[in-house]
A and B are shown apart, each in its own frame.
Chain A
């Protein structure tokens, strides 16, 4: 019986193969640019999704009024070709590009902009992702098809960075405030999601891929590739292998070990781009709720600036970059990363100097105890809880380094690994001395700077303490004043000056020890595609930008060089080059059919072989039995 089953499976396979071989001849093959990433989106609905992967799709699908330039993140026109502000800084007039069209051909007008902003202003659910952009807005009106006027309570620089995805009213008006909560925004089969960005979603398979097609009506012109596919790989090794094999053309978010195995491989270019994230060693600066009520059980030593300064001098940031990031990063200084060149400062006064650390602690009265641990002026030994994130290898490793750095200056750190969710709550309740974590910083510094204001400390609700944005409990009057001032300064240069002062305050007070700025590790098939654009150009990440520069500009190699356009030509002596281009042609043309057929034929052959062996063994054993 078993034998019969195997035979029928084999037969089915063999019969099926020729059928698949028929639909080979297709129309002009589309150029597909495939990006591999390590996580799926959480939702395609811009009011719902919060993951970086989701935002990458949102900004490809829907254009915004303005964007961040690829050169230095300054506000740059997108749907709005220009804007101006009234003398009092409270009335903003935006002029849209002429002749804008949605992907389905319906004109994109000022009414769509008003619709989108009004929906967020009026909505509850809609405010979850975009509330901070409209908090200050009092009215949004269209004075004609191309002009939108917004008025605000206070002057605000955020009005030049409205990263709100403009939605097509003719599609979204049918989705009310209740339906939007469960609206997936995924196209029905054979349909295309209406949008205004360079690419439009045509298909999504949860956990597998998101397929997008070029938007013919994109206001900057149709992109150079016809399709953009995001494929999801569940482990970094498979992601790297997929690039080597050519299943994908671009790999994003690689780990350092996979990245280094890809270095120098033929046809592949590796690229360690500057990224907007930093990691820090944070201190409990006196946990309290936003109304000043002390909470938690942090060691008071942490509130002594000299202790923190000593710790800052004890940490070898360059070694952390070399050992934890494998060199793919830069030593840290302030909470605004250096890729925001118009805002970042590097005071450079807290270099690695353990001798100085010891000096500072001696002078401050933290005398060395008999067991190698210093004792504070209050008689309490310098023993602190240091929380690390158990779900991050780099955090656990950093913890070990911190421990040894601190031991060298007579401070004992007790490492406590907990997962991020638990740590989030521990921090909120102020039940820590130090911890290791990180932030990703937006081009507009407001959000990051707000995490150090008194108002963002934890809050109490129904007898429970809940975390807000502040995880250091930093609270300083002068800082808060500057924060309020930058929030209403619409002149970018004047605002940058304030932001720099704020960084200096945080740095001098050692609110954080910013350990490093890590790179985003990317790699791509440079034998197939060209036209990648970094943000900032030349040094920054190629994908996951504030904008869609790479996707708009990426182009297949054969278009540029025009050297080997006939894959059918006889093999030339330049064997290596030829081989590279051959795979390229095969993969991009959907010719994976060939691989499929070969694979299936081999599978079928194996099964047939197995059956033959089985049958022969059987008859042999029967012969044996007869004797």
Chain B
């Protein structure tokens, strides 16, 4: 949602004076190093953050169980280890499979493993669709700013962008899920697959696809403006550049000027944006996952927060950090490849 502001992060550095060869390797090296340092910081910070949280984990765990005070005291003793010892265990393997979630009594890594695929599938598809359609709209609108297409598309995408996710999702659910205004309810109200359908079979895959239509449409519609507006803005900028006049002067058709010259340059910020948003794919979309009962990570985070389920939160938090840092790194490295100015 707030990706629009973050485009600036990936903006190429101003053109620097030419240095010797090997600078590309150095640039890459420094970027990787920066990512690793950030990650190390997050790992340490993460450990202490969750130990600063108030609350008695044993009290939370034993509430609702038939345990007497003696048993609870024994349990508390079991977990009561010195903080440095806990830190060492944690640093050795932050994703220790031996740590159980307090709410689900299941290894945290197993829980995350179960939930990560639905989220990747849903958010990944939505972002791919939104970026493809968004870029296409952005190109058409930005090439002829002020045209009817521009006005309609900009108005529509902005309207969709401003809609609350849960509201749009609920509307789609009622109209196309349950059926209203004479439209039959073609799609399921929630879930990822019908009970009893084998997801390994082609029929299972289609069933998942069928369940994905509504949540994916909701997300795509909402993310659309992210890409189309950035693409449109940067294309409008490119149109003013003098090299386009030269291209026209060479006698190229308008389509060719757009395709070969303007669009490749205007794509840069959009590509950054796409990669940055891929980092957020993992975090899931809590609201849409809630409306369509999609069993993803966003929902798991919400459930973990309600506990609060500290071991689970710690692992999720770390995973999100890694995904965002990783996606940032990829975006930066990609820039080195696609924008020659960065290499100079």
Binding site for B on A (CB under 8 A): 2, 5-6, 16-17, 19-20, 23, 32, 34, 42-43, 45, 48-50, 124, 127-133, 135, 181-182, 184, 203, 205-209, 211, 227, 229, 231-235, 237-238, 241-242, 244-245, 247, 391, 421-422, 424-425, 428, 447, 459, 461, 466-468, 590, 592, 595-596, 598-600, 602-603, 614, 621-622, 625-626
Asked if B91 CB lies within 8 Å of chain A CBs, one says no
Q: In the A-B complex, list the 4 residue pairs whose CB atoms are closest, starting with the nearest.
A: A207-B295, A132-B66, A599-B186, A242-B189
Residue of B nearest to A232 (CB): B293
Alpha-carbon separation in the docked complex, A342 to B53 (Å): 46
Query: In the complex, are the beta carbons of B106 and A43 less than 8 A apart?
Result: yes
Chain B contacts for A182, CB-based, 8 A: 100, 105-107
Query: In the complex, are the beta carbons of A238 and B186 less than 8 A apart?
Result: no
Chain B contacts for A32, CB-based, 8 A: 195-196
Alpha-carbon separation in the docked complex, A133 to B188 (Å): 44
Residue of B nearest to A45 (CB): B105
Asked if B223 CB lies within 8 Å of chain A CBs, one says no
Q: State the majority secondary structure of interface residues on A.
A: helix
Known: A241-B189, A461-B76, A599-B187. A592 touches B255 (CB 8 A): no
Asked if B136 CB lies within 8 Å of chain A CBs, one says yes
Chain B contacts for A19, CB-based, 8 A: 202
**Smallest Cβ distance from A261 to chain B, in angstroms?**
11
Query: In the complex, are the beta carbons of B209 and A241 less than 8 A apart?
Result: no
Known: A242-B190, A599-B186. A459 touches B195 (CB 8 A): no
Candidate in B69, B107, B136, B190 with the most chain A CB atoms within 10 angstroms: B190
Q: Which chain B residues (174-212) contact chain A, with CB distance < 8 Å?
A: 174, 177-179, 184-196, 202-203, 206-207, 209-210
Q: List 20 A-B contacts (CB under 8 A).
A: A5-B132, A184-B106, A205-B192, A206-B114, A207-B293, A207-B295, A208-B191, A208-B195, A211-B195, A229-B195, A241-B189, A242-B189, A245-B189, A247-B189, A421-B55, A466-B59, A467-B59, A595-B187, A598-B184, A626-B253
**Smallest Cβ distance from A229 to chain B, in angstroms?**
5
Query: In the complex, are the beta carbons of A238 and B72 less than 8 A apart?
Result: no
Chain B contacts for A50, CB-based, 8 A: 64-65
How many residues of chain B get a CB closer than 8 Å to chain A's CBs?
71
Known: A50-B65, A208-B192, A245-B178. A625 touches B59 (CB 8 A): no
Alpha-carbon separation in the docked complex, A42 to B132 (Å): 40
Asked if B15 CB lies within 8 Å of chain A CBs, one says no
Known: A459-B69, A600-B209. A245 touches B186 (CB 8 A): no
Alpha-carbon separation in the docked complex, A182 to B100 (Å): 8
**Smallest Cβ distance from B270 to chain A, in angstroms?**
12
Chain B contacts for A421, CB-based, 8 A: 55, 60, 307-308
Chain A contacts for B22, CB-based, 8 A: none
Query: In the complex, are the beta carbons of A422 and B67 less than 8 A apart?
Result: no
**Smallest Cβ distance from A450 to chain B, in angstroms?**
11
Residue of A nearest to B67 (CB): A128
Query: In the complex, are the beta carbons of A235 and B203 less than 8 A apart?
Result: no
Alpha-carbon separation in the docked complex, A229 to B194 (Å): 10
Alpha-carbon separation in the docked complex, A211 to B184 (Å): 28
Of B55, B100, B185, which is within 8 A of A425 by CB?
A: B55
Alpha-carbon separation in the docked complex, A50 to B61 (Å): 10
Candidate in A132, A242, A614 with the most chain B CB atoms within 10 angstroms: A242
Query: In the complex, are the beta carbons of A596 and B193 less than 8 A apart?
Result: no
Query: In the complex, are the beta carbons of A596 and B103 less than 8 A apart?
Result: no
Alpha-carbon separation in the docked complex, A43 to B104 (Å): 6
Alpha-carbon separation in the docked complex, A130 to B68 (Å): 11
Alpha-carbon separation in the docked complex, A150 to B255 (Å): 89
Alpha-carbon separation in the docked complex, A48 to B293 (Å): 25
Query: In the complex, are the beta carbons of B66 and A211 less than 8 A apart?
Result: no
Chain B contacts for A34, CB-based, 8 A: 195
Asked if B173 CB lies within 8 Å of chain A CBs, one says yes
Query: In the complex, are the beta carbons of A234 and B105 less than 8 A apart?
Result: no
Query: In the complex, are the beta carbons of A234 and B299 less than 8 A apart?
Result: yes
Chain A contacts for B74, CB-based, 8 A: 124
Candidate in B66, B213, B255, B306 with the most chain A CB atoms within 10 angstroms: B66
Asked if B150 CB lies within 8 Å of chain A CBs, one says no
Of A128, A233, A234, A600, which is within 8 A of B65 by CB?
A: A128
Query: In the complex, are the beta carbons of A20 and B195 less than 8 A apart?
Result: no
Asked if B325 CB lies within 8 Å of chain A CBs, one says no
**Smallest Cβ distance from B244 to chain A, in angstroms?**
15
Alpha-carbon separation in the docked complex, A45 to B106 (Å): 11
Give 15 A-B pairs besides A43-B104, A184-B106 with Cβ atoms closer than 8 angstroms: A131-B71, A182-B106, A208-B195, A208-B295, A209-B191, A231-B195, A241-B178, A245-B179, A245-B185, A421-B60, A421-B308, A424-B63, A461-B76, A466-B59, A596-B207
Chain B contacts for A132, CB-based, 8 A: 66
Chain A contacts for B300, CB-based, 8 A: 207
Known: A238-B189, A461-B73, A596-B206. A227 touches B289 (CB 8 A): no
Of B62, B202, B213, B253, which is within 8 A of A16 by CB?
A: B202
Chain B contacts for A6, CB-based, 8 A: 132
Query: In the complex, are the beta carbons of B105 and A43 less than 8 A apart?
Result: yes
Query: In the complex, are the beta carbons of B189 and A48 less than 8 A apart?
Result: no
Asked if B290 CB lies within 8 Å of chain A CBs, one says yes
Alpha-carbon separation in the docked complex, A127 to B306 (Å): 26
Residue of A nearest to B206 (CB): A20
Query: In the complex, are the beta carbons of B177 and A241 less than 8 A apart?
Result: yes
Asked if B115 CB lies within 8 Å of chain A CBs, one says yes
Asked if B262 CB lies within 8 Å of chain A CBs, one says no
Asked if B237 CB lies within 8 Å of chain A CBs, one says no
Asked if B304 CB lies within 8 Å of chain A CBs, one says no
Q: Which chain B residues (57-95) contact chain A, with CB distance < 8 Å?
A: 59-60, 62-69, 71-74, 76
Query: In the complex, are the beta carbons of B54 and A20 less than 8 A apart?
Result: no
Query: In the complex, are the beta carbons of A600 and B206 less than 8 A apart?
Result: yes
Residue of B nearest to A248 (CB): B189
Known: A208-B192, A211-B196, A235-B291. A468 touches B69 (CB 8 A): yes
Query: In the complex, are the beta carbons of A206 and B115 less than 8 A apart?
Result: yes
Chain A contacts for B63, CB-based, 8 A: 424
Residue of A nearest to B98 (CB): A182
Query: In the complex, are the beta carbons of B255 and A238 less than 8 A apart?
Result: no
Query: In the complex, are the beta carbons of A621 and B255 less than 8 A apart?
Result: yes
Candidate in A447, A600, A622 with the most chain B CB atoms within 10 angstroms: A600
Alpha-carbon separation in the docked complex, A421 to B56 (Å): 9
Query: In the complex, are the beta carbons of A238 and B207 less than 8 A apart?
Result: no
Query: In the complex, are the beta carbons of B196 and A227 less than 8 A apart?
Result: yes
Alpha-carbon separation in the docked complex, A625 to B67 (Å): 80
Query: In the complex, are the beta carbons of B106 and A16 less than 8 A apart?
Result: no
**Smallest Cβ distance from A464 to chain B, in angstroms?**
8
Residue of B nearest to A459 (CB): B69
Residue of A nearest to B139 (CB): A2
| Contact flags B85-129 to A (C-beta < 8 A → 1, else 0) | 000000000000000100111110001001100000000000000
Alpha-carbon separation in the docked complex, A247 to B188 (Å): 8
Query: In the complex, are the beta carbons of B189 and A235 less than 8 A apart?
Result: no
Known: A203-B196, A211-B195. A244 touches B178 (CB 8 A): yes
Asked if B170 CB lies within 8 Å of chain A CBs, one says yes
Residue of A nearest to B188 (CB): A247
Known: A129-B66, A209-B191, A461-B73. A603 touches B213 (CB 8 A): yes
**Smallest Cβ distance from A426 to chain B, in angstroms?**
11
Chain B contacts for A425, CB-based, 8 A: 55-56, 59
Chain A contacts for B72, CB-based, 8 A: 466
Asked if B280 CB lies within 8 Å of chain A CBs, one says no
Asked if B292 CB lies within 8 Å of chain A CBs, one says yes
**Smallest Cβ distance from B107 to chain A, in angstroms?**
7
Candidate in A6, A50, A124, A447 with the most chain B CB atoms within 10 angstroms: A50
Known: A238-B189, A247-B189. A391 touches B66 (CB 8 A): no
Asked if B6 CB lies within 8 Å of chain A CBs, one says no
Query: In the complex, are the beta carbons of B289 and A234 less than 8 A apart?
Result: yes
**Smallest Cβ distance from B299 to chain A, in angstroms?**
6
Chain B contacts for A234, CB-based, 8 A: 190, 289-291, 293-294, 299
Alpha-carbon separation in the docked complex, A481 to B156 (Å): 73
Residue of A nearest to B198 (CB): A189
Known: A34-B195, A241-B178, A424-B63. A16 touches B206 (CB 8 A): yes
